[in-house]
Amino acid sequence: MTKAQDKFTIERVGFRADGNVELRGNLYIPTTGDGPHPALTLSMGYGGVKEQGALPYAEAFANAGFVVLFHDHRGFGESDGTPRQDINPWQQVEDWRRAITYLQSRPEVDQERIGLWGSSYSGGHALVLGATEPRLKAIVSQVPTISGYQQGLRRVNPTNLAALEASFAADDRAQLAGEEPHRIALVSDGSVPASYTDPEAVSFYLQPIPDGLWENNVTVRSTRAARAYEPGIYIGRISPTPLLMIVGDNDTVTPTDLALEAYQRALPPKELLVFPGGHFDAYLGEFEATSTAALQWFTKHLMPDK
C-alpha cells in the first residue's frame, strides 16, 4: 500500500504503441467522487524510469481525484522496445499520443478533461504535445529541455567536439555493418565518459530502485538525437491550452535562462513558478512547491468547480 492509497487504487496496465511494442505503467484510479474523472498522463525525463523520484507526483495527483497514467518510455523500465535504453525524442512523443488515446478508452476518464505533466526531457515533450495535441486541456512543463543545441554548447567543451562527432560517425558505421548501437554511461563520476557527471545527477539516477528496471547507459545515438532536439520552438503554439512552466533558478542541466526566455515567448494563458535550486531539486527539496503548483494548475483548468 502507498500513502493515501485509500483514495485510489493502482492498476498495472499495458497498451499497444506500434508494431508489437507494448508500453506499460501504473494507472491510478480514484476511489472517491463520481466519475468519469479528469485524467493526467505523466512520463519521465532523459534516460529515466518512473521509479526514479517521480511517483510521488502521480500519488499527489491521484489523491486529489485525478485518474493518472504514468508510463515508462519505450525501451525503459517495464515497457517493451529494443534496443534498450535508446532515446528517440520524436518516438517518445508519438508514444505519448498513444497514452492519451489509451486514457480516453478508459471508462473512468472524462475524455474532455485530460492534462499532461512532463519533466526535464519529457518537459520538452510537453511543449511539443501541448502545441500539437488538442485533446490536452492543460500542460505542466517542469525544468524542461528547451534547446538541445544550446545545451550542447554549454555541456561539451569545444576541444572535445571533434571526438564526440567522430563517435557518432563510428556508431553509424557499426550499425551499417550490423552491430548493435554503441553505448555510453548515463551518469559517471568522471572515471568514464557519460551523459552527466555532476554529483547531483549521479545521486539522482543512482538512487535505489527495484532491480531490473534501469541500467546506467544509453545509446550513443541518443546523445546525437538530444543535441538536435529543439522543443522550445513549439512554445508559442501551445495557446490557448493553459501552460504552467516550473523552473529552477540555478538549473545548469536544462539552463534557467533558456527556460525563462522560452516562457516569454509563450502566449496566455500561462503561469511561471521559479523555485530556488537546481534541476533535481524539483523532485527532492522543492517537491512540495512543485507538486502543489502543478496540482493547483490542473485543478483550476480540469476541475473548475472544485
Kindly report, residue by residue over 121-136, the tens digit of the pLDDT: 999 999 999 999 999 9
Structural domain includes residue 255:
yes
Q: What is the CATH number for 10?
A: 3.40.50.1820
Query: How many domains is the chain partitioned into structurally?
Result: 1
Structural domain includes residue 174:
no
Q: What is the pLDDT of residues 278-302, one digit of tens each?
A: 999 999 999 999 999 999 999 999 9
pLDDT above 90 as % of the chain:
91
Flag whether pLDDT at 2 surpasses 60: no
Structural domain includes residue 219:
no
Structural domain includes residue 202:
no
Question: Which strands, in side-by-side order, build the sheet including 218-219?
Answer: 194-196, 183-187, 218-219
Structural domain includes residue 206:
no
Structural domain includes residue 24:
yes
- From residue 136, give the alpha-carbon distance in Å to each of 126, 140, 268: 10, 11, 16
Structural domain includes residue 166:
no
Mean pLDDT (whole number) for 61-86: 97
Q: What is the pLDDT of residues 178-206, one digit of tens each?
A: 999 999 999 999 889 899 999 999 999 99
- pTM over 0.85? The answer is yes
22, 16 Cβ separation under 8 angstroms: yes
Here the cell at position 249 is 533558478
Domain of 54, in residue numbers: 5-154+229-302
| More confident call, 19 vs 61 | 61
